[in-house]
């Protein structure tokens, strides 16, 4: 890896005694001084505490040049910052503010501030470092804001942005602390094991060709939803107050930047009820799709779009569909598959847990895990990334084998393509959890069993292994017949006059079943509104609820009062008694 140790190696070649210092400046242990090069003895004017220009930086396109700066704060702690040169334009307040915040001492005089800019701008170190503005994989290296994981001898790569990134990719404690206080209590608890496995799945997305997506832990208050998120987030980082959790209470634009800093990782979004219910479906689709909106800058050039590829873990008392339906909106099957609803209640009478590992109550275990997740975090993923970089081929091959076995063993042969896509993500989570078993301390099979259980939970909650859109459409047809079967269908042979707002006719067949003869326009525009009417009719025919015409025709030719001979859809009343998911 290339973190502080890598920077220190570069610093060795740029110590005050050897560093290339611009003419007119003097670098010493005590600081940077402006000196008159024509004077043999000049104590110089103090500019700032010792600041070493370690290397020149640039992005993958050879643009956005910068400097890698290194210095010590008043406590003697070493800081490094890949600073974009663009921050030197204007008055330079932004870059000086960052340096002051990190502990560099800067002279308050105006002249000294100007000289500091000159010192940095005219320094031309020999070392070169490639800088990337997005967390995640780049040319075989995994970039974090403060550390780079790559193989020996590859190009030096660091993270660099023009503004200070808002993230919680931090470390406290040791891996052993995390294993003892958090990971071991996940064993036997499917919701916790699955959540932690999600945390290790992000880095495998691009390596296995799997697309991003999410899972939504749904359930009553205080049942363990947030606990599972805190535990999963502790794999990546956190802080002392909120752990690794982000909030659904944000605009779509705000979530774009949040998502990008979690690229190839895990994003935890707490309490979906805080999201605008009118936008929740669009947001779920955006998070899984991984591309923000295109926008224009103040000039005529387009700004860089935010991009990401991640696994996200959401929570809330309501599911995605329930929340959207509260505003009269409908969640499409594609949206629902991108964020799979999972019931948190494990059914063991212990809320989201199946075993308490000696704790007196679910609340006690939840409190312990919540507290420990804010105390020990960040080390698991860094250990995992180091292994993944060095043993990438072996880990990816094993992950693909686990994925293949998982799909064979858990996905019904007649499952819809929607179910297949979701199952592939569950399989990746299983593979990720297994590949991290030496880090978590779990026995082989723990992550696979948890993922298989959660996949079954999803199927049961969804109510079908078929396509959710077609099931919803058939339900809509049935509900229409239940509501309007008497009022908007005219009985064939009825002499009582016309029916207001008529959609068709009805009659009783020889099997004593009611047949609904529906006019094609009414079927398409009203009864199947929002869905593909042809696909709905085809599915109804396959299930025996729609009588076909001649050959493969879905429409029958019938003679109707006042209309004459015409084509209609003939629906059977047996649909009203069928179990429609």
Report the pLDDT averaged over residues 136-142. 92
- Picking from 446, 462, 478, the residue at the C-terminal end of a domain is 462
- Picking from 105, 132, 159, the residue at the C-terminal end of a domain is 159
Q: Are the C-beta atoms of residues 67 and 57 closer than 8 Å to each other? A: yes
Residues 280 and 396 both lie in one domain: yes
Q: What is the pLDDT of residues 15-63, one digit of tens each?
A: 544 568 999 999 999 999 999 988 877 788 999 999 999 999 998 888 8
Of 191 and 7, the one with more pLDDT? 191
Residues 450 and 474 both lie in one domain: no
Q: Which of 278, 263, 192, 270 is nearest to 231 (CA)?
A: 192
Q: What is the pLDDT of residue 470?
A: 78
Q: Which two tokens stand for residue 430?
A: 């299983």
Of 231 and 10, the one with more pLDDT? 231
Residue 239's pLDDT band (cuts 50, 70, 90): very high
Report the pLDDT averaged over residues 119-142. 92
Asked if residue 188 has pLDDT above 90, the reply is: yes
Asked if residue 434 has pLDDT above 60, the reply is: yes
Residues 188 and 140 both lie in one domain: no
- Picking from 159, 184, 213, the residue at the C-terminal end of a domain is 159
- Cα 304 from chain centre: 20
Residues 455 and 475 both lie in one domain: no
Task: Please report the DSSP string for 384-403 in residue order.
Answer: HHHHHHHTHHHHHHHHHHHH
Residue 424's pLDDT band (cuts 50, 70, 90): very high
Report the pLDDT averaged over residues 534-556. 90
Asked if residue 249 has pLDDT above 60, the reply is: yes
Q: Report if residue 529 sits inside a domain.
A: yes
Q: Report if residue 168 sits inside a domain.
A: no
Report the pLDDT averaged over residues 560-574. 91
Q: What is the pLDDT of residue 467?
A: 55
Q: Report if residue 220 sits inside a domain.
A: yes
Q: Report if residue 170 sits inside a domain.
A: no
Report the pLDDT averaged over residues 430-445. 98
Residues 74 and 127 both lie in one domain: yes
Residues 417 and 518 both lie in one domain: no
Residues 87 and 43 both lie in one domain: yes
Q: Report if residue 263 sits inside a domain.
A: yes
Asked if residue 515 has pLDDT above 80, the reply is: yes
Q: How many domains does the chain have?
A: 3
Full strand arrangement of the beta sheet holding 136-138: 136-138, 141-144, 147-149
Q: Report if residue 219 sits inside a domain.
A: yes
405 by Cβ neighbours in 10 Å (0-12 / 13-18 / 19+) ranks as middle
Contacts within 8 Å (CB) and 24+ apart, 275-283: 275/248, 275/249, 275/323, 277/323, 277/324, 277/326, 277/327, 277/329, 278/327, 278/329, 279/252, 280/320, 280/323, 280/324, 281/320, 281/324, 281/329, 281/331, 281/332, 281/335, 282/252, 283/252, 283/255
Q: In this prediction, what percent of the chain has a pLDDT beyond 90?
A: 63
Q: What is the pLDDT of residue 333?
A: 60
Residues 243 and 100 both lie in one domain: no
Q: Which two tokens stand for residue 447?
A: 């992550």
Q: Which of 49, 215, 21, 218 is nearest to 120 (CA)?
A: 21
Residues 340 and 217 both lie in one domain: yes
> Which of 61-75, 214-228, 333-347 has the weakest average pLDDT?
333-347
Residues 372 and 264 both lie in one domain: yes
Q: Kindly report the average pLDDT of the chain as a whole number.
A: 88
Residues 480 and 404 both lie in one domain: no
Please tell me the distance from the alpha carbon of residue 390 to that of residue 406, in angstroms, as a whole number. 26
Q: What is the pLDDT of residue 74?
A: 95
Q: What is the pLDDT of residue 412?
A: 86
Q: What is the pLDDT of residue 497?
A: 65
- The pTM is what? 0.75
Q: What is the pLDDT of residue 6?
A: 52
Q: What is the pLDDT of residue 299?
A: 47
Q: Report if residue 165 sits inside a domain.
A: no
Q: What is the pLDDT of residue 477?
A: 93
Report the pLDDT averaged over residues 464-468. 56
Q: Which two tokens stand for residue 2?
A: 């290339």
Please tell me the distance from the alpha carbon of residue 467 to that of residue 461, in angstroms, as a whole number. 14
Domain range for 562 is: 468-577
- Cα 496 from chain centre: 60
Asked if residue 581 has pLDDT above 50, the reply is: no
Please tell me the distance from the alpha carbon of residue 6 to that of residue 150, in angstroms, as a whole number. 11
Asked if residue 184 has pLDDT above 80, the reply is: yes
Q: What is the pLDDT of residue 212?
A: 95
Residues 472 and 457 both lie in one domain: no
Q: Report if residue 296 sits inside a domain.
A: yes
Q: What is the pLDDT of residue 331?
A: 64
| Helix ranges, 290-414 (H) | 320-325, 333-338, 362-373, 379-390, 392-410
- For residue 213, give the CATH number of its domain: 3.40.50
Residue 440's pLDDT band (cuts 50, 70, 90): very high
Q: What is the pLDDT of residue 369?
A: 98
Q: Which of 33-42, 216-225, 274-283 holds the top average pLDDT?
A: 216-225
């Amino acid at each position: 890896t290339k973190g502080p140790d890598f920077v220190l190696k570069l610093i060795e070649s740029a110590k005050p005694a050897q560093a290339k210092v611009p003419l007119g400046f003097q670098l010493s242990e005590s600081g940077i001084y402006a000196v008159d090069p024509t004077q043999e003895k000049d104590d110089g004017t103090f500019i700032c505490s010792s600041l070493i220009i370690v290397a020149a930086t640039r992005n993958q396109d050879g643009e956005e040049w910068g400097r890698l700066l290194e210095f010590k704060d008043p406590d003697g702690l070493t800081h490094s910052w890949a600073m974009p040169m663009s921050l030197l334009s204007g008055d330079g307040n932004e870059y000086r503010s960052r340096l002051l915040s990190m502990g560099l001492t800067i002279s308050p005089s105006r002249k000294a501030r100007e000289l500091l800019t000159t010192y940095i701008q005219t320094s031309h170190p020999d070392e070169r470092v490639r800088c990337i503005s997005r967390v995640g994989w780049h040319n075989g290296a995994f970039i974090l804001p403060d550390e780079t994981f790559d193989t020996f001898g590859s190009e030096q790569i660091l993270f660099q942005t023009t503004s200070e990134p808002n993230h919680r990719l931090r470390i406290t404690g040791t891996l052993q602390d995390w294993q003892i206080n958090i990971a071991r209590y996940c064993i036997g608890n499917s919701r916790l094991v699955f959540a932690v496995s999600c945390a290790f799945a992000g880095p495998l997305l691009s390596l296995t060709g799997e697309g991003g997506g999410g899972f939504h832990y749904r359930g009553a208050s205080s049942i363990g939803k947030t606990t599972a998120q805190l535990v999963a987030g502790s794999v990546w980082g956190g802080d002392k107050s909120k752990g690794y959790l982000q909030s659904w209470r944000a605009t779509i634009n705000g979530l774009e930047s949040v998502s990008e800093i979690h690229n190839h990782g895990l994003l935890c979004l707490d309490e979906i009820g805080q999201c605008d219910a009118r936008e929740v479906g669009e947001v779920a689709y955006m998070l899984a799709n991984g591309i923000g909106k295109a926008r224009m800058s103040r000039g005529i050039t387009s700004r860089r779009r935010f991009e990401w590829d991640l696994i996200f873990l959401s929570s809330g008392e309501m599911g995605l569909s329930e929340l959207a339906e509260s505003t009269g909106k409908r969640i499409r099957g594609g949206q629902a598959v991108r964020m799979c609803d999972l019931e948190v209640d494990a059914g063991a009478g212990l809320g989201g847990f199946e075993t308490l590992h000696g704790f007196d109550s679910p609340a006690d275990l939840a409190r312990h895990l919540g507290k420990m997740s804010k105390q020990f975090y960040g080390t698991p993923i860094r250990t995992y990334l180091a292994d993944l970089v060095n043993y990438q081929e072996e880990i990816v091959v094993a992950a693909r084998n686990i994925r293949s076995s998982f799909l064979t063993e858990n996905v019904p042969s007649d499952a819809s393509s929607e179910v297949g896509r979701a199952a592939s993500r569950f399989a990746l989570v299983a593979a990720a959890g297994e590949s991290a078993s030496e880090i978590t301390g779990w026995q082989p099979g723990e992550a696979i069993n948890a993922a298989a259980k959660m996949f079954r939970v999803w199927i049961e909650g969804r109510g079908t292994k078929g396509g959710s859109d077609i099931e919803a459409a058939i339900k809509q047809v049935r509900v229409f017949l239940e509501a309007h079967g008497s009022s908007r269908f005219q009985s064939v042979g009825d002499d009582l006059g016309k029916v207001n707002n008529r959609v068709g006719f009805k009659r009783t067949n020889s099997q004593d079943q009611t047949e609904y003869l529906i006019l094609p326009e009414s079927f398409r525009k009203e009864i199947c509104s929002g869905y593909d009417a042809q696909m709905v009719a085809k599915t109804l025919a396959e299930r025996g609820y729609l009588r076909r015409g001649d050959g493969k025709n879905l429409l029958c030719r019938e003679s109707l009062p006042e209309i004459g001979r015409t084509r209609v859809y003939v629906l059977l009343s047996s649909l009203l008694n069928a179990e429609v998911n």
